[in-house]
Structure formats: C-alpha cells, structure tokens
C-alpha cells in the first residue's frame, strides 16, 4: 500500500501543474516579501549588508512582468494593449537599471515603488468594496469566495501601509516594517491559495455570472496579440540588451556596477521563466510541481542576492554560467546529432520545413552558441575579453527579440 501511494505521489508531482500564471507570480512575490521581512531583522542590527536599489528594482521588474504577461497592474486589471505592454517594459527598464547601477536611481525608485504600493492599494481596495459590488457579492457565497474577499482585503490594506512606509521613511522602526513584510508575504500566499481554489471550483462561465466582465477606457484600445512565451522572451531580451549597453560605460569606469543585483535579477527572471513556461537553460520541461519548486528555489536565491550583496555572488555566478554552458551544449547536441546521423528526414507528405521554421532553428542555434560564450565569461572571467562581453549580451538580446517575433508569428 505504501509503495503504491508513494508511486502515485511521485507520478502526480511529475504531471503538468494546473497552477495559473497569476498564482506562480504571486508565490514569487510572496517569497520576496517574506524573505525581505526575515532579512530585515538582521539588516537593522547591522549583521547583514543591504542594497535598497536592487531591492526596489527587483520589485519593479516583478510588477512589470505581471503587467506585460497578464495586463495586471498595481491599480487593477486592464486590457492588455500595446500601450500597457510598453509601460510595463519602461517600468522594467527602470527596475533593471536600479539593479545594475547602484546609487543613481535610489530616490526615484523608492518614490515610484511607494506610489505604486500606496495608490495601487487604495485603488484595489476601492474596487473591491464598490466596483460592481465585488465584496458584497463574494461574501454571500459560502466557501472559497469568502476567503478570497478576506485575502484581498488584508493584502490591499497592508499594501497601503507599506506604501506609506516606503514614501515616508522613519514613520516605523525596522522591526515593525519587518513584521509588516512578514504578514504581507503570508497574506500573499493566502491570496494565491484562494485564487487557485477559485480557479478549480468555478469554471470560467460561472465566474462570469458572479462578476461581470470589466470594461472602461482601455477596452477601446486594441488588445495585444502577444502570447505568454514571446512576452517572457521579450523581458529577457530587454534585460540582456540593456545590460550589454550599460557594460560599455561600466567597463570604462564611468558607472558603478552591482554584480549581485545583476546575478540576482538574472536568477529571478530565470525562475519566472521556469515557473510560468517550464523553460529552463537545459531545455523545455513539463510545468510540473517539481519544476515550479525548483523555480521558487532559484527565485529565493536571486531575491536574497538582490537584497543582501556579497554573500551569494560566487555561487550564482557559477550556477548561471554552468547552466548556460550545459544548456547550450545539450540543446545543440539534441538538434544536430540526429541530422549528422541521418535520422532526421523530412516527411514526404509535409515536405521540407518552411522558411519560418528554418529561421526559428537558426535563431535558436545562434542563441545556444551565444549562451555558451556568456556562460564561459561567467565561470572563467578573463577568458573572453571584457570588450566582447557587452557585444555578446547585445547580440543575445537582439536574437531573443527575433525569437519572440518568430514564436508570435
């Protein structure tokens, strides 16, 4: 009996997970807030260093990821238009610059994060209480919708409080702020659980009868025809292209640079890619519970590196470098070994691959080669000249833009 149960559990965790995109992003955001709260106890006593720039910057990137992939903003759900995607990309760029270059945007990102939390929390709370009677409708339905009402209310109220704390430093002690962050992280986990339970309990057609479809100003804007996969690829492309451009003045010594912010952000973006798509540097996998857990572990490492510099630098550098090298080698081998051995033949009924498929394969091959070069520059600094590293990153970013275009096409 025990063997059968263990086998069943093992098979279950390897199956495709039904966790929605919104839920996995909320889980990573919850990890961010909860871990920040834990670390703040040590930071406040001076036992750990702290980098506010990359902390605020990482938060902006996670929020931008939600905006670009789902149209979910700190002020509520909006139609996912090109205007909204562009705003998300600009916000992500601001967050990335704050992660890469410390001391340049500190006040700007602090105020931006404070406004998003404070004003966004108020907007969401007002929508919950008054927009189409959301709270009044949900609270009357026994079960998970009542939990969802409570979870939303708690999250929105604490969001407003943290927005005030961010905008007006010193109104609370570090100990009190840490407690708010811990409660915030737990409440986000609770909200993620509620959203997942609602998705399982209520089919989409039932939800429409419970809550009317949203409308408004942005409904008149054209929806973006951008699926999840190219949206994530665009985010990674923006990150690498921007990093490559910034490395030129950084290598000249005209700008400071935070390797911890860079490595932490790269690791969190990798984690988002794993948890939302099942895509890893080693290839595509089922978006199983195992992959999601691994992604959350990666996110935790990246978040830690962004908040507390100098502790995981070497570990993340070797990890990201090794994954890029192994992934590039494995994917190139899987693509070309069958061709070399003559096993990969065209189906006479379908004929040779189309030009789009050929472009897709060429782009992937170039990306694999660039990934290997980038991995080598991580593991063995100096092997590739510093002047070439930014060029490699820019090429990588441009290739990812091309890949996103091909995938969407």
Report the half-sphere exposure of 67 (CA within 13 A, side-chain side): 23
H or E element at residue 284: strand 283-284
Q: Are 126 and 81 in contact (CB under 8 A)?
A: no
HSE, CB side, 13 Å, CA atoms: give it for residue 319. Answer: 17
What does the block give as tokens for 315? 């570990």
The pLDDT value given to residue 296: 94
Q: How many CB atoms lie within 10 A of CB 370?
A: 22
Say whether 276 sits in a helix, a strand or coil. helix
Instruction: Specify the residue for token string 């506010």.
Output: 52
Cβ neighbours around 102 below 10 Å, total: 20
- Quick check: 58 and 99 in contact, CB under 8 A? yes
Question: Where do we find the tokens 């390897």?
Answer: 14
Collapsed DSSP state (helix, strand, coil) of residue 77: strand
pTM: 0.85
- Helix H or strand E segment including 6: helix 2-14
H helical segments located in 82-203: 82-100, 106-130, 134-139, 144-167, 174-201
* pLDDT in 10s for each residue of the chain, 409 residues: 444 444 444 344 455 667 788 889 999 999 999 999 999 999 999 999 999 999 999 999 999 999 888 888 899 888 778 888 889 999 999 999 999 999 888 899 999 999 999 999 999 999 888 875 666 777 777 778 888 888 999 999 999 999 999 999 889 999 999 999 999 999 999 999 988 888 777 665 454 444 444 443 333 334 566 677 888 888 888 888 998 899 899 888 888 999 999 999 999 998 988 888 888 777 778 888 888 999 999 999 999 999 999 999 889 999 998 988 898 888 888 877 766 666 545 555 555 566 777 777 888 888 888 888 888 888 887 777 878 888 888 888 888 888 888 877 7
Distances (CA, A) of 183 to 39, 73, 154, 224, 246: 14, 22, 9, 36, 37
């Amino acid at each position: 009996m025990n063997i059968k149960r263990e086998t069943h559990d093992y098979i279950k965790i390897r199956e495709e997970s039904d966790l929605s995109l919104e839920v996995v992003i909320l889980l990573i955001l919850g990890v961010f807030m909860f871990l920040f709260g834990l670390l703040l106890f040590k930071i406040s006593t001076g036992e750990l260093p702290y980098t506010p720039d990359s902390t605020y910057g990482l938060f902006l990137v996670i929020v931008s990821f939600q905006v670009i992939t789902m149209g979910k903003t700190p002020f509520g759900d909006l139609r996912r238009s090109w205007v909204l995607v562009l705003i998300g990309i600009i916000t992500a760029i601001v967050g990335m610059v704050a992660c890469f270059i410390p001391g340049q945007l500190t006040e700007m990102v602090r105020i931006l994060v404070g406004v998003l939390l404070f004003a966004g929390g108020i907007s969401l709370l007002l929508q919950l209480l008054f927009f189409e009677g959301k709270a009044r409708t949900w609270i009357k339905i026994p079960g998970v919708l009542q939990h969802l009402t409570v979870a939303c209310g708690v999250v929105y109220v604490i969001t407003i409080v943290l927005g005030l704390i961010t905008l007006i430093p010193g109104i609370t002690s570090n100990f009190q702020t840490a407690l708010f962050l811990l409660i915030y992280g737990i409440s986000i986990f609770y909200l993620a659980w509620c959203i997942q339970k609602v998705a399982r309990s209520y089919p989409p057609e039932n939800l429409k009868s419970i809550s009317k479809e949203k409308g408004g100003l942005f409904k008149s804007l054209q929806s973006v025809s951008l699926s999840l996969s190219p949206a994530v690829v665009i985010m990674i492309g923006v990150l690498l292209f921007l990093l490559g451009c910034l490395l030129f003045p950084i290598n000249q010594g005209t700008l400071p640079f935070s390797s911890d912010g860079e490595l932490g952000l790269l690791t969190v973006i990798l984690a988002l890619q794993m948890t939302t798509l099942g895509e890893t540097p080693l290839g595509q996998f089922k978006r199983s519970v195992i992959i999601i857990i691994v992604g959350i572990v990666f996110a935790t490492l990246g978040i830690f590196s962004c908040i507390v510099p100098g502790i995981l630098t070497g570990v993340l550098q070797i990890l990201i470098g090794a994954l890029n090298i192994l992934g590039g080698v494995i994917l190139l081998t899987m693509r070309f070994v069958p061709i070399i051995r003559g096993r990969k033949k065209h189906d006479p009924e379908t004929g040779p691959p189309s030009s789009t498929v050929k472009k897709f394969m060429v782009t992937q091959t170039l990306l694999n080669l660039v990934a290997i070069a980038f991995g080598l520059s991580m593991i063995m600094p100096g092997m590739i000249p510093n002047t070439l590293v930014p060029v490699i990153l820019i090429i990588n970013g441009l290739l990812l833009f091309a890949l996103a275009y091909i995938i969407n096409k």
